[in-house]
Amino acid sequence: MSLKSCEKIETNVYAVEVSLEGDAFKSAVSKAYAKTRGKYNVPGFRKGKAPKHIIETYYGKETFWYDAIDAEYGALYEAAIKEAGIEPVAAPHDDEIVDISENGFTIKFKVTVKPEVELKAYKGIKAEKEKVTVKKAEIKEEVEKALEKDAKLVAVEGKAAKKGDIATIDFEGFLDGVAFDGGKGEGYDLELGSGSFIPGFEEQVIGHKVDEEFDIDVTFPEDYGSEELAGKAVVFKIKLHKIMKKELPKYDDEFVKDVSEFDTVADYEKHLEEEIKARKEAAADRAFENAVMDTLVDNLVAEIPAVMIEKEIDNQINEFEYRLRSQGLQLDMYLQYLGMDVAALRDSYKDGAEKQVKLRLALEKVAALENIEISDEDVDTELKTYADAYGMPVDKIKTLISADDVKADLACRKAMDIVKDTAVAGAKKKAAPKADDAAAEEKPAAKKAPAKKTTTKKTTAKKTAEKAADAE
């Protein structure tokens, strides 16, 4: 193999020209003949038995040249980029055979590489960190959860159902007088006020007594999963069989002894306070670290090739699809239920994928600036950790995970530790009060949609090990 040239032709793109000549090419042609001769028919010879020169005479002297190029292309590419010292981020493209003869060939292709990266700063990054305090209301909320968990259900006699009760009902839904699929249930236990059913349903059960039969008029939300019912007004026929209410245990030392290792309410609440504080401190640490990493990403100066972001989107969607399959779901059915196509799904991942690519590049730059080195012992220790975690032999893990991937992941991890350990935490600033805040405090807080969890991106090595373990 001979690297003829490697020239930067545009931002993050190189044109590479490489050749294979002389005995190396002749050897490749002979291998191509041995591998593909069975597909050629030559009169007077059984299929696959004709000598090489006979096939070349019959089909053309270049018959096996292109098969040889196909066979050698991968090795040529790997050798060329190694000699050129470039780091591709995608497969080569725009391949072109410059010349070819019985003495060899020259091929040219384009390679998109990792961008050149600069970091404005990575040490001493400042970010806000919330000061953790525990309010009495938070302790009370934990106590109430414990009481709820230990609550008993008792029958309600002679009284109408109210919010918080559990009503056992039969129901059947009708659209324009016709029963619709999925709208029927018998002996269903419905906690009134839980929001389990569509808006307006549970509220209309409240006020009714056992053995009553009645109708409920409701309208399905416009974004309801079924097109047949979305935005439609329907009638549910209801029969109320039973009403149960939760009876909470008495909150005293005896209760505390039953549900915990403590003997008194005071000790129990002190323990709850410590638990809440630990959770809030962990959340504050995560938020602080996320803010530090966000600033690190903002400090990155680089022109990111679009293909890197697209590949990261692919990775994240593949990981999401893998999780869906583990739950017995298919991606296409999931998208159909949401009324979303693949293009919209990819678009929803774009910002996160771009941030992840930038973060990885920034950490790699920190690792280079800090001269972080990962030893073979470090790699072996990490591979053993994967083996223990997924119940697989170390030797099997080594066949699945590249040592280079592990080294890269460990280097980024150490780089992240440097950035976090040198970061400076400042007190979180309180938002300026609005003019109507005082009035708002008098009203109960509106329910909010649950926030999306921030998760640490799985490393290449970890994802490989996880999938291999599941396959076992």
Cα 359 to Cα 122, 290, 410, 460, distances in angstroms: 12, 11, 15, 15
Q: For 402-409, what is the mean pLDDT?
A: 92
107 residue type, one letter = I
Q: Is residue 160 part of a domain?
A: yes
Q: Is 410 exposed, middle or buried (0-12, 13-18, 19+ CB in 10 A)?
A: buried
Q: How far is the C-alpha of 87 from the C-alpha of 368, rounded, in Å?
A: 15
Closest CA to 213 of 224, 225, 222, 205: 205
Residue 23 has a pLDDT of 92
Of 221, 247, 273, the position where a domain reaches its end is 247
Contact indicator for 26, 121 with CB cutoff of 8 Å:
no
Assess whether pLDDT exceeds 60 at residue 471: no
Assess whether pLDDT exceeds 70 at residue 456: no
Q: What phi-psi label fits residue 339: left (phi over 0), alpha (psi between -120 and 50 degrees) or beta? A: left
Q: How far is CA 11 from the centre of its chain?
A: 30
Contact indicator for 265, 251 with CB cutoff of 8 Å:
yes
Assess whether pLDDT exceeds 90 at residue 407: yes
Give per-residue pLDDT as tens, 38-57. Answer: 888 888 888 888 888 888 88
Q: Whole-number mean pLDDT of the chain?
A: 88
Of 214, 247, 280, the position where a domain reaches its end is 247
Residue 469 has a pLDDT of 52
**One domain for residues 390 and 335:** yes
CATH of the domain at 16: 3.30.70.1050
Q: Is 28 exposed, middle or buried (0-12, 13-18, 19+ CB in 10 A)?
A: buried
**Residue 345 token pair:** 């799904």
CATH of the domain at 183: 3.10.50.40
**One domain for residues 413 and 451:** yes
**One domain for residues 366 and 430:** yes
Containing 345, the helix (H) or strand (E) segment is helix 342-369
Q: Is residue 121 part of a domain?
A: no
Residue 217 φ/ψ, nearest 5 degrees:
-100, 120
Other Cβ atoms within 10 Å of 228 Cβ, number:
11
Q: For 441-456, what is the mean pLDDT?
A: 36
Contact indicator for 406, 379 with CB cutoff of 8 Å:
yes
Give per-residue pLDDT as tens, 218-253. Answer: 999 988 878 889 899 999 999 999 999 989 999 999
**One domain for residues 367 and 444:** yes
**One domain for residues 242 and 272:** no
**One domain for residues 328 and 239:** no
Residues spanned by the domain of 465 = 265-471
353 versus 465: the higher-pLDDT residue is 353
Q: Is the pTM of this model over 0.75?
A: no
Assess whether pLDDT exceeds 50 at residue 426: yes
**One domain for residues 95 and 168:** no
Q: How far is the C-alpha of 246 from the C-alpha of 151, rounded, in Å?
A: 6
**One domain for residues 232 and 277:** no
Provide the number of structural domains found in the chain. 3
**One domain for residues 369 and 399:** yes
Strand order in the sheet with 104-112: 2-10, 13-21, 104-112, 93-101
Say which residue the tokens 């990266």 belong to: 117
Assess whether pLDDT exceeds 50 at residue 453: no
**One domain for residues 209 and 310:** no
Q: For 117-121, what is the mean pLDDT?
A: 94
Closest CA to 260 of 151, 152, 147, 153: 147
Cα 20 to Cα 61, 65, 250, 326, distances in angstroms: 18, 11, 86, 47
Containing 8, the helix (H) or strand (E) segment is strand 2-10
Residue count of the chain = 472
**One domain for residues 306 and 435:** yes
